């Protein structure tokens, strides 16, 4: 990704007065997860990421087959599950933005069946209420959502490595290896399940280099200003 702030030419026209979705795609160490949490908090809406979706699937046995049965039984089938897991709005579901990735070593283990269930859950969550999604190819999974804003968060590689060193308590060499492994893993995941590159700027309404901002709060405020400028 270029080390510059970019906006796409898709001319988004999102309305936050109606049910809407914001998707966050990000590079590890860019602070994208934290930005997604803070966006959700300031907008007063839910925040969802891989860890919460996985917990939903595991706790309530939400396989693709089970989801199909639940959908046939009840229109708002996911409401009870998600309310048991986390009352809305809650933008602080995880303590740290990039922490969970070291536990898996950056290796994507999603199977086709699991991905299918994830897609069902993501679409159902987007139907339930306005929300922010981090990762999981949200820009593609929710491509048909009528009121959506897609964001890609990047940062200079050195600053990403430095952030991972601090957050994960790693040496520079370890952090660099982790950043490179997860960059590769995420790109492979997106290409496998969407047939697209996560680095294709045409997938997003806004591509933001947070290295251009003094802190992540300023980046969040900038994103909010851009989103509000698209209101119709």
Q: Check if the beta carbon of residue 193 is closer than 8 Å to that of residue 182.
A: no
- Angle formed at CA 19 by CA 17 and CA 139, multiple of 5 degrees: 120
- Per-residue model confidence as pLDDT tens digits over 106-133: 445 557 888 888 999 999 999 988 999 9
Query: CA-CA distances (angstroms) from residue 34 to 21, 99, 133, 217?
Result: 17, 11, 12, 9
- Percent of the chain at pLDDT exceeding 90: 53
Please report which confidence band the pLDDT of residue 10 belongs to, taking 50, 70 and 90 as the band edges. Answer: low
**3-state class (DSSP) for residue 45:** coil
Question: What torsion, rounded to 10 degrees, do the Cα atoms 121, 127, 130, 135 define?
Answer: 30
Distant-in-sequence, close-in-space partners of 192: CB < 8 Å, separation ≥ 6: none
pLDDT for residue 87: 55
- Per-residue model confidence as pLDDT tens digits over 21-30: 999 999 999 9
So where are the chain's domains? 6-229
Q: Check if the beta carbon of residue 30 is closer than 8 Å to that of residue 160.
A: yes
- Percent of the chain at pLDDT exceeding 70: 83
Burial of 174 (0-12, 13-18, 19+ CB in 10 A): middle
pTM score: 0.84
The answer to whether residue 43 scores a pLDDT higher than 80 is yes
We find that the CATH architecture of domain 6-229 is 3-Layer(aba) Sandwich (3.40)
**3-state class (DSSP) for residue 207:** strand
Q: Check if the beta carbon of residue 21 is closer than 8 Å to that of residue 142.
A: yes
């Amino acid at each position: 990704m270029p080390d510059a702030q970019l906006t796409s030419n898709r001319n988004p026209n999102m309305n936050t007065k109606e049910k809407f979705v914001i998707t966050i795609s990000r590079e590890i160490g860019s602070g994208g997860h934290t930005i997604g949490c803070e966006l959700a908090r300031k907008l007063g809406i839910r925040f969802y990421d891989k860890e919460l979706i996985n917990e939903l699937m595991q706790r309530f046995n939400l396989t693709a087959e089970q989801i199909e049965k639940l959908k046939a039984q009840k229109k708002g089938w996911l409401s009870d599950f998600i309310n048991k897991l986390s009352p809305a709005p809650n933008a602080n579901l995880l303590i740290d933005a990039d922490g969970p990735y070291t536990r898996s070593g950056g290796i994507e283990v999603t199977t086709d069946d699991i991905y299918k269930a994830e897609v069902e859950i993501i679409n159902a969550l987007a139907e339930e209420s306005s929300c922010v999604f981090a990762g999981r190819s949200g820009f593609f999974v929710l491509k048909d959502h009528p009121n959506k804003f897609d964001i890609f968060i990047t940062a200079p590689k050195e600053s990403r490595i430095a952030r991972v060193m601090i957050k994960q308590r790693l040496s520079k060499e370890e952090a660099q290896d982790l950043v490179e492994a997860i960059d590769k893993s995420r790109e492979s995941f997106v290409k496998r399940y969407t047939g697209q590159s996560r680095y294709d700027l045409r997938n997003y309404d806004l591509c933001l280099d947070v290295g251009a901002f003094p802190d992540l709060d300023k980046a969040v405020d900038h994103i909010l200003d851009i989103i509000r400028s698209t209101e119709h």
